[in-house]
Amino acid sequence: MKSDFFLLHTVATQFAQTLESSFSYLREDLDHLIILGAYGGDYMISPESGSHFNEIKTVVLPCLSRSLRRMQDLLTSPSYYQGGKDPDYQTGAKLLKEVEHTTDRLMHLNQSLLLQGQPRYFRGDWDMNAYRCRAMQLSIVDILRKTAEILRRTAQIPCYHRYLLSQNATLTMKKRDMEELSQITYHQTHFMLNSIDNIIRSFEPSDLELLGDRCRQAVQKIESEILHQVNDSIARARMHIQSSQDALTIIKLTRLFLNKLSKATNGIPHPLPLMSSDQLLDLIKATDHLDESLCSFMFFIPIEQPTGPRKAYNLLTQVLSAIKILTDYSGRQAPSPESPYDSPRKCCEWYQLFSYQLSAVVTRFTFPHLVQSQRE
């Protein structure tokens, strides 16, 4: 009996260490993962990227999901502990090996999507395959990060079990405590596993989904920056200054524009579902760096650098370029009774009014003294 106790304690210790080691290595590997378009984007897409994508979607990702779910059911399912069983760490170790092998393969395939050592800067001349490659790579990174977090949380089970084994607790107390921890860990990992499965289901986005996803990511980044500005004491102290108020209006209008591109809002006609792949590509290119331009502009608001107005004008130029694509397209469309998007005139009016509003506030921000003298 005592030997069984020491054996279980040893196995729990070893498995906890293995999980923590896998988590650490995975996080370290993620830091070195190469993403198309990052840090200059000096990589070309591999001619074999299509077959790699197919293997990732049909073989590697489903295998990863299955292994993680089996590990979850084995180690964190509350029903397992209700039967008074001890965790099956040996089977868990085998499943962990499967997860490690699959994540290694996933990282290898991710790197194989790109040809290294052949510089080519994609800014300005990307095609839809390049955008799709980047979107899929970002999805892979998201999956691997969630996998690492699942390993970290699952490691709590053997760590706590080892602790309980070393205490003078009754069997009933140990069973109850393990059930409570397993319930918490199960729900935490269950949410992340569902998120991974959702990413797998939408792993190959359509052209329209590429634009929508990119705009939603930009909005999230902008909202994070807005929250930072609100919490910044220097920024708050300057909120009474007219230029700062105008700057916030520019931020909010840009966010509204990206929100509108990501989905139909407030019943306003949405032309995007009817646009061709080439037209969507032009629109993606026009909006691709809006969030970067806006965050760069936001950086100078609290410190009132003279470069702020120039950055505001650059931002306006990018937005107007995207609006021109939308209005040119909508202006050529005739109303269609069969289409839910049959109001091209209203669409043009909305974007034109928006462009007037943004232009006015950027002008006021860029030339405050000129605007003030006109009022006088």
Question: For residue range 319-364, what is the model confidence (pLDDT) as tens digits?
Answer: 999 999 888 877 666 555 545 544 667 777 888 899 999 999 888 8
Q: What is the structure's pLDDT at 232?
A: 60
- Dihedral sign from CA coordinates of 224, 225, 231, 236: negative
Spatial distance between the Cα atoms of 80 and 84, rounded to a whole number of angstroms: 8
DSSP-derived letter for residue 58 is I
- The pLDDT averaged over each successive group of 10 residues in the chain (376 residues) is 54 78 81 65 72 89 90 78 70 89 90 66 63 83 87 82 68 68 82 84 79 83 74 53 73 88 63 81 86 80 62 89 86 56 69 90 77 52
Q: Cα angle at 264 between 261 and 269, to 5 degrees?
A: 100
Cα dihedral 199/203/206/210 (nearest 10):
60
Where does residue 118 fall: left (phi above 0), alpha (psi -120 to 50 degrees), or beta otherwise? Answer: beta
Spatial distance between the Cα atoms of 310 and 289, rounded to a whole number of angstroms: 16
**Are residues 304 and 243 in contact, defined by beta-carbon separation less than 8 angstroms?**
yes
Q: What is the structure's pLDDT at 101?
A: 93
Question: For residue range 217-227, what is the model confidence (pLDDT) as tens digits?
Answer: 888 888 877 77
The domains of the chain, with CATH numbers, are 2-201 (1.20.1420), 207-375 (1.20.1410)
Indicate the average pLDDT of the chain: 76
Q: What is the three-class DSSP state of 45? A: strand
Residue 115 dihedral angles phi and psi, to the nearest 5°: -95, 115
Helices (H), 32-116: 49-55, 61-75, 78-82, 89-112
- Rounded-to-5 percentages of helix, strand, coil across the chain: 75, 0, 20
Spatial distance between the Cα atoms of 93 and 73, rounded to a whole number of angstroms: 14
